[in-house]
Structure 1
Amino acid sequence: MLKKVSCIGGINLDIKGSPFKRLELQTSNPGKVFYSSGGVARNVAHNLVKLNVPINLIGAVGNDSFGEIILNEMNNLDIETGHIKISKHFQTGVYLAILNEIRDMYVSISDMQIMEEIDTVFLEEKKDFIIDSKIIFLDTNLNVDVINFVLKLVENKNIKVIINAVSIAKVKKLLQVDNNVDYLTLNFMELNSLLDKELEFPNREGIIKNIQQKIPNFTNIVITNGADGIYFFSRKDNNLNFFPVKEMSSEEIIDTNGAGDAFTAGFIYGLYNDLGINQSIYYGIKASQITMKSYKTVSDELYKILEETENN
């Protein structure tokens, strides 16, 4: 039986509003409101299913209409819902985003109190599935004690662990991570938040020095910065390798929400198929750019990556 990628973390409903014209503050803006299933772990899992990677999704939803919507969609995608806890105490998580006129996020609010349900007791029940994984993906919607529990659970096992930072606030949890983590994916603002610095993206020496001093538990770090490109830090050689990103025109970009999760999924797709770092980052970039051309948080066009892989 194929080993799976276990995605553990946030599952929620995304509600996004975008104005037809320039966003005006402190007033009502005519525009479009769109909702879909979301949450970082759920989004990564959904992308991976589109890329034919077998997954376990472990998380929680509320016993409410939003939870029902999400579970129905998961069933339609043939994603097993048996590892998703239905909470009697919290409502389904909600991510509410307001986009500006060029469909970049202007501000968002994340209600993820339900993550209290994903505790060490719940994950102890799921440990057989977790330790049978090829790769484990965690997001920082999880509490630190839960992240440390999973890392301890897979210590000295041949399982890659990948953590995504999620936000500039939640990334700070990673300062309390005890065990080694194989890969961290985050954007440059999240890196500065984690380091408590205001580094410039081209400042390679400053980035390397601060990573070495402040976040020693991460073996490899993927730092994205939009069209400015990507840095890959490897503790093995203490170096930053740069990967350029082809800039997209404003006409091509429909919605940037979900692009970061798609990047992480594309990167995991490469690692799962043992394609190496360079190719994994390439597929991460490809997945994120495909996603930015879609209204959906997870694009229906990800099959293009599969076609490209087959042709290569």
Structure 2
Amino acid sequence: MEEAFWYEEHNCYWGIAADIEGHPYDDLKRSESNPGKISVSYGGVGRNITENLARMGAGVSFVSAAGNDFVGRMAVQELAALGVGVENIHLIEDENTAMYLSILNNVGDMELALCNMDVLERISVDIINQAMPLLQSSKMVAMDANLTEDVQLYIMDKLQGIPLFLDPVSAPKAERSKKYIGRFHTIKPNIGEAEVLSGIEITDEKSLAKAGAYFITRGVKQVFITLNARGVYYKDTREEGILRLWDCISIVSATGAGDAFSAAIIDSFIRGKNIAETSFYGMAAAQVAMQTKTAVNPQMCMRKIEEKINMVSKTI
């Protein structure tokens, strides 16, 4: 990472998982063994954000739980090799690492999936307390809604005065953070998650702005609502806007784009960027992520992000 800017700050995340995907060569036949390709990769919103930040050159630590199995141990080793602080990843003997297993059909659509995220429920107050010196010395602490409501509230109470970032993960899990949304400095939901968190149905730009205003009035300092192929809506107390997806860049896969955007938001906060600059920076990071099929582009770095920004700047 010699081209990346390094700073001694700590940002902490929670979810770690393994993604297993099966893709048959021919039509999927039920109740049979289907020849095909099987891929295994590390995932989880928190883990993906952490890897992106490490590749951007950030000083980042990871707080989480995984099974004391081959998958969990290798996930820790991979993060450590990137320079991530892994001392607070707890490998639990009686659990397996969180996994998401999906079976696709021959055109790439999901036919069946099974997830086991039980170990993430084992991220307890005790685990948080063990990481407390790290958390209390952080410039920003990032949380995802895999954490139980009780644990989220405990972190909020113990880290008053430290900016908290929330990635809600999914609409159902966003419910865990809804009552406390004003205690987050920065949030990055998608439309469905924003609807859950605000109680506002988002159908157009007017209702989108209404949801953004709701979050600001509750105490959130920065709001980023991702709009899939339509870009991102951003708002703070001074600025508001929508940044459209740049159509001058080819897309291989949108998988992991949101996690790269989240990483860029946090990196921007540490660097002191304003919200419009952060949105632009986040869009560039997301489009670096979309140039590979993996959840995190192994070529992610500041140089790649700056190349995207320069490319778009020439077309504006």
Give the deviation of 1:189 after TM superposition. 2.2
In structure 2, runs of 5+ residues without a counterpart are 1-5
Q: Is the 8 A contact 2:212 2:223 kept in 1?
A: no
State TM-score, norm by structure 1.
0.84
- Report the alpha carbon displacement of residue 264 of structure 1 after superposing the two structures with TM: 0.6
Instruction: Tell me whether 166-175 or 191-200 shows the greater mean CA deviation.
Output: 191-200
Q: Identify the match of residue 65 of structure 1 among 38, 58, 70.
A: 70
- Once residues 224 and 99 of structure 1 are traced to their aligned partners in structure 2, the CA distance between those partners, rounded to angstroms, is 26
In the other structure, the counterpart of 2:133 is 128
Take 2:243 and 2:47, find their aligned partners in 1: how far apart are those partners?
27
Q: Is the 8 A contact 1:152 1:179 kept in 2?
A: no
Correspondent of 1:46 among 47, 51, 56: 51
Name the CA shift for 1:291/1:310 in 2 (closer, same or farther; >3 Å).
Answer: closer
Instruction: Find the counterpart in structure 2 of residue 281 from structure 1.
Output: 279
Which has a greater percent of strand?
Answer: 1
Q: Residues 124 and 277 (structure 1 numbering): CA distance in 2 closer, same or farther, change over 3 Å?
A: same
- Residue 266 of structure 1, aligned match among 251, 261, 264: 264
Q: How does 1:50-199 map to 2 (within 5 A)?
A: 50-98=55-103, 108-156=113-161, 159-177=162-180, 180-196=183-199, 198-199=201-202
Q: Could you list the per-position Cα deviations for residues 86-126 of structure 1 after superposition, in whole angstroms to 9, with x for gaps in the alignment?
A: 11232111123455777677775432111232111211121
* Distance in structure 1 (CA, Å) of the matches to 2:69 and 2:218: 42
Alpha-carbon distance change, 26 to 165 in structure 1, aligned in 2, over 3 angstroms:
farther
Task: Name the TM-score, length of structure 2 as normaliser.
Answer: 0.83
Q: Which residue is equivalent to 1:243? A: 243
CA distance in 1, matches of 2:56, 2:78: 17
Deviates more, 1:64-73 or 1:11-20: 11-20
Alpha carbons 1:43, 1:262 under 8 Å: kept: yes
Aligned equivalent of 2:233: 231
May I ask how many residue pairs the two structures share in their alignment? 303
- Cα deviation, residue 5, structure 1: 3.1
Distance in structure 2 (CA, Å) of the matches to 1:150 and 1:71: 23
Query: Take 1:264 and 1:178, find their aligned partners in 2: how far apart are those partners?
Result: 17
Change beyond 3 A, Cα 1:188–1:87: same
Letter in 1 for 2:267: Y
- What are structure 1's unaligned runs of at least 5 residues? none
Letter in 1 for 2:170: S
Is the alpha carbon distance of 1:256 and 1:37 closer, same or farther for their aligned partners in structure 2, counting shifts above 3 Å?
Answer: same
Change in CA separation of 1:178 and 1:43 when aligned onto 2, cut-off 3 Å: closer
Shift of 1:265: 0.8
Q: Is the 8 A contact 1:105 1:257 kept in 2?
A: no
Opposite residue 5 of structure 1, the aligned amino acid is H
Task: Indicate the SS of the match to 1:297.
Answer: coil
Rounded to whole Å, the distance in 1 between the matches of 2:172 and 2:248 is 28
How many angstroms does 1:63 deviate by? 1.2
What does residue 221 of structure 1 align with? 223
